[in-house]
């Protein structure tokens, strides 16, 4: 059984971050879809009253568009690999922190330094992982939240 | 009166975002400095203080290597010549416990990410007062 509103809060957290800081709207937060091929994937681990990790995966084109929006690059300018990785790391950090702040409002938590995974990395498939696919106005994204509070035995 | 601002964050993209937001907000800026962690931030503050210009406002993240945001704020409070410099924390960790702890340590304000550009400008006005409103376009 999911903690109260975990799935809604995860999509809300991503929507708020993308809307406020990346000028990107989430058109649909409940799309069932396959992870993108050769994606850009960021992983953020967290510890505190509860622990777990968040993976965010998106096609390279989406990552480039989000990076350009965040950095305010001129129209048509393609961000460097370093810029893209830095921005995707920051995106993962913000979405994970925003989600946890909704759920752990009284408890301190620590976020790991976000890490870009190799393109071939697969998203976690454990039972205690919440998956959501987001359809964005400039691409798509898959979220996978592994969290000890999703595990009924925890 | 034009502001001299220091941005302390280990993520270059976030430093650029804050810098760009400040520049677009209408606040008059005379200098924007950057540091990748709290230790570098202290070094910039001391250098600028020694040169006589000082820093009017500091933005800092919490999670950083070498010296994190809490340690940075704590050390600033222990430096008599630097403790009056207002510090505004920008972080994803918006738990009540964290915000209260930072306030106790001496931070003057807190912005939780995600934050709209208008929020950054509002907080600057709240912390620095209306003297700076005259500098707004």
Tens digits of per-residue pLDDT, B66-105? 999 999 999 999 999 899 999 999 988 777 888 888 999 9
Cα separation, A119 vs B38, whole angstroms? 33
Quick: pLDDT tens for A112-134: 999 999 766 666 666 567 888 99
Residues 6 or more apart whose CB falls under 8 angstroms from that of B111 comprise B88, B89, B90, B91, B119, B120, B123
Q: Which of A71, A53, A74, A56 minimizes the C-alpha distance to A148? A: A53
**Residues of chain B with confidence (pLDDT) below 70:** 130-137
CA gap A83, A76 in Å, rounded: 15
Q: Tell whether B66 lies on the interface with A, counting CB pairs under 8 A.
A: no
Please name the residue of chain A whose CA is at the shortest distance from the CA of residue B16. A71
CATH code, domain carrying B44: 3.40.50.2300
Cross-chain Cβ contact A17/B113 below 8 Å: yes
Q: What is residue A142's three-state secondary structure?
A: strand
Is residue B15 within 8 A of residue B68, CB to CB? The reply is no
B68 touches chain A (CB under 8 A): no
Q: Which domain holds residue B100?
A: 3-136
A residues 15-44 lying closer than 8 A (beta carbon) to B: 16-17, 19-21
Residue A127 is predicted with a pLDDT of 54
Smallest CA–CA distance from A13 into chain B, residue: B114
Distance from CA of A86 to the nearest CA of B (A): 6
Q: List per-block mean pLDDT (blocks of 10 residues) for chain A, which spans 154 residues.
A: 74 93 85 74 91 93 95 91 95 93 77 85 67 89 87 56
Strand partners, A48: A109
Angle at A62 between CA A58 and CA A66, to 5 degrees: 115
Q: Which residue of A has its CA nearest to B112?
A: A98
- pTM for the model: 0.84
Distance between CA atoms of B123 and B113, rounded to whole angstroms? 13
- Count structural domains, chain B: 1
Tally Cβ neighbours within 10 Å of residue A69.
16
Q: Which residues contact A5 (CB under 8 A, 6 or more apart)?
A: none
């Amino acid at each position: 059984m999911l903690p109260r509103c975990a799935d809604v809060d995860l999509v809300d957290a991503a929507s708020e971050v993308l809307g406020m800081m990346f000028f990107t709207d989430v058109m649909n937060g409940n799309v069932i879809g396959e992870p993108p091929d050769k994606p850009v994937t960021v992983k953020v681990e967290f510890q505190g009253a509860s622990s777990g990790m968040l993976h965010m995966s998106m096609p390279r084109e989406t990552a480039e568009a989000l990076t350009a929006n965040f950095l305010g690059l001129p129209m048509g300018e393609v961000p460097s690999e370093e810029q893209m990785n830095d921005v995707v790391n920051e995106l993962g950090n913000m979405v994970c922190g925003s989600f946890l702040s909704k759920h752990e409002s009284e408890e301190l938590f620590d976020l790991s330094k976000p890490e870009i995974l190799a393109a071939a990395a697969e998203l976690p498939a454990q039972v205690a992982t919440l998956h959501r696919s987001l359809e964005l106005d400039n691409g798509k994204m898959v979220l996978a939240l592994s969290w000890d509070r999703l595990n009924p035995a925890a | 009166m034009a502001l001299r601002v220091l941005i302390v964050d280990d993520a270059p993209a976030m430093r650029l975002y804050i810098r760009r937001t400040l520049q677009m907000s209408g606040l008059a800026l005379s200098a924007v400095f950057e540091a990748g962690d709290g230790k570098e931030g202290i070094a910039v503050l001391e250098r600028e203080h020694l040169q006589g210009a000082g820093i009017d406002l500091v933005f800092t993240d919490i999670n950083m290597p070498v010296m994190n945001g809490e340690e940075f704020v704590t050390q600033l409070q222990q430096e008599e010549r630097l403790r009056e410099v207002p510090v505004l924390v920008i972080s994803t960790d918006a738990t009540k416990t964290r915000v209260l702890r930072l306030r106790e340590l001496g931070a003057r304000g807190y912005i939780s990410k995600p934050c709209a550009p208008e929020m950054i400008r509002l907080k600057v006005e709240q912390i620095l007062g209306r003297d700076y409103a005259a500098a707004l376009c």
